[in-house]
Every structure is written in C-alpha cells, then in structure tokens.
Amino acid sequence: MSSRCIVMTPFQNVSLGVDTCECFGILGPNGSGKSSVLNTTFFTFPQTLGKIYYDGKDTTERKGNEITLSYYPQEDTIWNEFTLFEHIEMFLYLRGYSKKEAKRIAKQFISYCHLTEHRNKMPHELSGGTRCKLNILITLCCSSTKIIIDKTSASTLQTNKSSAIISIHSMEEAELLCNRIAIMVKGKIKCIGTLEHLKMKYGNTYIMDVYSNDIEKFHEEVVVGKQLFGESEYELEDKSHQKVKYEVKCDSSNISKAFEIMESCREDDLFCDYSYSQTSLEQVFLNFTLKSSEYNDENDVEIKNKK
C-alpha cells in the first residue's frame, strides 16, 4: 500500500549578505519564501542546510545569547493587558535599563513617533497604523545592530550603525528605504542589486515624455519620419494638448540613438522639452513574476512515494 506525500521546499539556494548600516529589502509576492528566510535567519525555524553568519561567526557555533537580534514578525507582539507606554517601558526594562531610565526613554520614543495621545491606550483601542508603530518601537528597544522586519509595510531607524533586513511588498517603500533589493519568487532569489542596477539590467521599458506645441507634427516628423525608436514597439499616451508619453520596449543600446535624433531636432521647434526615464521597479518585479508563472519549476515541489 502506498501513499503520496507532498514535500514543500520554502526556499533554496539563497545567498545574500548585508553590510553595516545597510537597509536590505526582500521583495516578492505572497508565498515566495520571504518569511521563511527571515524566520530561519532569526532561528525561529531550525536551520537544516547552509550557513548563516553574523559578524563573521557561524551561527551553528554560537554560545548562549552572544548574537543579539531585533525581530519584528508578521504577527503582533502585543499583549492585550498593557498600554502602549507600558509595552515600551517593559521592553526597555528587560533590555537592562533601570525603571527610571526605561520611563524616560519610553517617553522620548513616544514623543518622537508622535504617539503621545495614544500612550495610555490599550491595544484594542489602537488603529492598525499605530499598532504597527508600537511593534517597530518594541523591535528597536533591543538596541541591536541587526534588525529584521517581516512586515508588508514597515520602516525603521538607522541607529547604532544597524543593519536591517525588511520583507516588503510596497514598491514605494522599497525605493525609499532600501539601499539594495532582492527580488524573490517561488523560493529563489532572482536578482540582487541597487534600484538603479536592477532597472538598468532587467528593465526592458523606457519612458519618454515630450512637450510640444504641435504633438501630431512631432509624432509624424520625428517618431514616424525619423524612426525615433527604430524597430522597437511603443505605446503612445496623450497626457495633455502639449504633452505626450511614449512607453518604449527596447534595450539600453537604442537609447543613444533616440537621444541623437532628439538633439538633432531641437532647433527645428518640433518640441519644447523632453525627458527619458528608466522603467519602474514595479515593472522589473512584474517581469520576474510573469516569467515564473509561465512554467512550473520541478524543484519547487517534490512528490515522493511511500510504501
């Protein structure tokens, strides 16, 4: 008699490093393995294979609590019986501050985050955003130089020369907060780099905004007549009577030609001004997720027969 067992691999072949004072973002859709990576990094999940190093030390050889980490999991770390102020005061006290110092620093944290009006509220009286701020403050109370935040929308303070890893969904926050970004899909890191590096290497779309007193004349004489974009596909969007947007699918080698043509037409009064920008981080992210959805990776799910 046999039965089938599905063995899920949450992530595999993940290799990354985070520098001092760096905010490193892991971007990916739900179920991509982000939380599993962070839970393993924080020792919530047992480490089975591979190596994890903090300050050059192998975590499998650690003794006691010599590695200090701050971790903000997806689940709330809030008790219903404590007020907002009491939460912060307690964690500071556990950190080693005296009761007097814990109260003083808790007041400073609350004032800095504009939470004074909520200091005596119970958790059920707090909004979702305020609960999120409280969780982040609890995480920072540890004063660790290593911060892990597993939240779809989160921000942190760069204090004590801290290194931070953030699991994130928001493209805006990824661009605003992170020094480098890793895109993770189906348990695998697809790319790592700065925002500009990822957009230059993996983006296949460029945006040209053109300002002209005669949009139709510009389009006919420059875009069509001079083949501004060559053989590349493009989409045209009229933004106003004097502004048009072109979304061009091409590689970076075609940009120089477009610039050359535009500059050669500058004195012909066919346009007032123009700008050329890279693809967005969102488009790079979508490119990876769409490619992954086109095929099934045999290594993601292993089916074994048991007798």
Over residues 153-167, the pLDDT tens digits come to 445 445 556 788 888
Are residues 262 and 125 part of one domain? no
Lowest mean pLDDT among 138-147, 154-163, 227-236, 287-296: 154-163
Does one domain contain both 137 and 184?
A: yes
User: Is residue 228 situated within a structural domain?
Assistant: yes
Cβ–Cβ under 8 Å, residues 306 and 2: yes
- Which of 142, 199, 141 minimizes the C-alpha distance to 174? 199
Contacts of 147 (CB under 8 A, 6+ apart): 69, 70, 71, 72, 139, 140, 156, 162, 163, 164, 165
Q: Measured in whole angstroms, how far is the alpha carbon of residue 216 from the centre of its chain?
A: 40
Residues 169, 30 within the same domain: yes
The residues near 274 (Cβ < 8 Å, ≥ 6 apart) are 208, 209, 210, 211, 262
pLDDT in tens, 38-63: 888 877 787 777 888 887 778 777 77
Residues 144 and 231 in one domain: no
Structure confidence at residue 207 (pLDDT): 85
**Domain range enclosing 225:** 204-277
Residue 307 has what pLDDT? 30
Greater model confidence, 283 or 19: 19
Residue 273 domain flag: yes
Q: Are residues 218 and 70 in the same domain?
A: no
Does residue 240 sit in the same domain as residue 180?
no
With 0-12 / 13-18 / 19 or more C-beta atoms within 10 angstroms meaning exposed / middle / buried, residue 20 is exposed
Task: List, as own/partner pairs, every contact residues 261-268 make where C-beta atoms lie below 8 angstroms and the sequence separation is at least 24, other chains included.
Answer: 261/222, 261/226, 261/228, 262/222, 262/228, 265/221, 265/222, 265/226
Nearest partner of 30 among 199, 150, 132, judged by Cα: 150
Number of domains in the chain: 2
| Residue 14's pLDDT band (cuts 50, 70, 90) | confident
The pLDDT score that the predictor gives to residue 300 is: 40
Domain CATH code at residue 193: 3.40.50.300
226, 188: one domain: no
Check whether residue 13 and residue 77 sit in a common domain: yes
Q: Can you give the pLDDT at residue 82?
A: 93
Which CATH number fits the domain that encloses residue 215? Answer: 3.30.70.1710
pTM of the model: 0.64
> How large a percentage of the chain has pLDDT more than 70?
85
138 and 213 belong to one structural domain? no
Do residue 149 and residue 248 come from a single domain?
Answer: no
